[in-house]
Structure 1
Amino acid sequence: MKILFTAITLLLISINTHAQVLGDTIAKNDVSAKPLKLHHAEPLYVDLIRDLGARKGEHELNVGFGINDEKEYVAYKGFAEYEFAVANRLGLEVEVPFEMYGHTANDARDPLPGNRVEGIKLATQYTFLVSKKYQTSMAVGYIQEMEFSSLPDIGHHGKLFEGTTYNPIFIAAKRLTPHIHTLLYTGPVMEQLFETKTWNTVMEVNANLHYVFTNGNFIGLETNMEFSEQKPSFVVRPQFKVAFSPKVSLGIVAGIPASGDNRNISAMTRMIWVP
Structure 2
Amino acid sequence: MERKNLKNTLIYTFLVLIGSTGYAQNSDSISLSPKVKHMEPLYIDLVRDLGARKGEKEFNLGSDFLNTNNYREYAVLAEYEFAPIDRLGLEIETDFSFYDKTNSESQIPENKLDKLILSAQYSFFVSPKYQTTMAIGYAHEFELTDFNSYDSAKFVTGMVYKPFFVAAKKWGESFHTLIFTGPMMSHNFDETYTSVDWQINTSLHYNIPNTHHFIGVEFNKEVVDSEFEMTMRPQLKLQLNEAFAVGLVAGFPIDNEKEKFSSFFRLIYEL
Common fold, TM-score beyond 0.5?
yes
- Indicate the larger mover: 180-189 or 29-38: 29-38
Is structure 2 residue 176 aligned with structure 1 residue 181? yes
Which aligned pairs between 1:14-33 and structure 2 lie closer than 5 A? 33=31
Q: Which runs of 5+ in 1 are unaligned?
A: 1-27
Separation in structure 2 between the aligned mates of residue 123 and residue 144 of structure 1, nearest angstrom: 6
- Alpha carbon RMSD of aligned pairs, Å? 1.7
Cα deviation, residue 231, structure 1: 1.8
Greater radius of gyration (CA) = 2
Aligned twin of 1:40: 38
SS at 1:126 equivalent: strand
Runs of 4+ in structure 1 off by over 6 angstroms are 28-31
Which aligned pairs between 1:28-177 and structure 2 lie closer than 5 A? 33-104=31-102, 107-108=103-104, 110-155=106-151, 157-177=152-172
Could you tell me which amino acid in structure 2 is paired with residue 73 of structure 1? Y
The change in CA–CA distance for 1:31 and 1:219 in structure 2 (over 3 A counts) is closer
Separation in structure 2 between the aligned mates of residue 177 and residue 117 of structure 1, nearest angstrom: 43
String of CA shifts for 1:42-72, please: whole Å, max 9, x gaps. Answer: 0000000000011000000000001100121
String of CA shifts for 1:99-152, please: whole Å, max 9, x gaps. Answer: 001122xx1354432101111100000001111111000000000011001112
Aligned twin of 2:219: 223
Aligned twin of 1:244: 240
| Equivalent residues of 2:231, 2:256 under 8 A apart | no
Q: How many residues align structurally?
A: 246
Structure with the largest fraction of strand: 2
Separation in structure 2 between the aligned mates of residue 95 and residue 274 of structure 1, nearest angstrom: 16
| Equivalent residues of 2:47, 2:119 under 8 A apart | yes
* Selected match of 1:264 from 237, 241, 260: 260
Separation in structure 2 between the aligned mates of residue 226 and residue 115 of structure 1, nearest angstrom: 25
SS at 2:139 equivalent: strand
Could you tell me which amino acid in structure 2 is paired with residue 124 of structure 1? A
Is structure 2 residue 203 aligned with structure 1 residue 205? no
- Work out the percentage of aligned pairs sharing the same amino acid: 38
Aligned twin of 2:16: none
Separation in structure 2 between the aligned mates of residue 29 and residue 103 of structure 1, nearest angstrom: 61
Q: Which runs of 5+ in 2 are unaligned?
A: 1-25
Cα deviation, residue 29, structure 1: 6.5
The change in CA–CA distance for 1:59 and 1:187 in structure 2 (over 3 A counts) is same
The change in CA–CA distance for 1:129 and 1:158 in structure 2 (over 3 A counts) is same
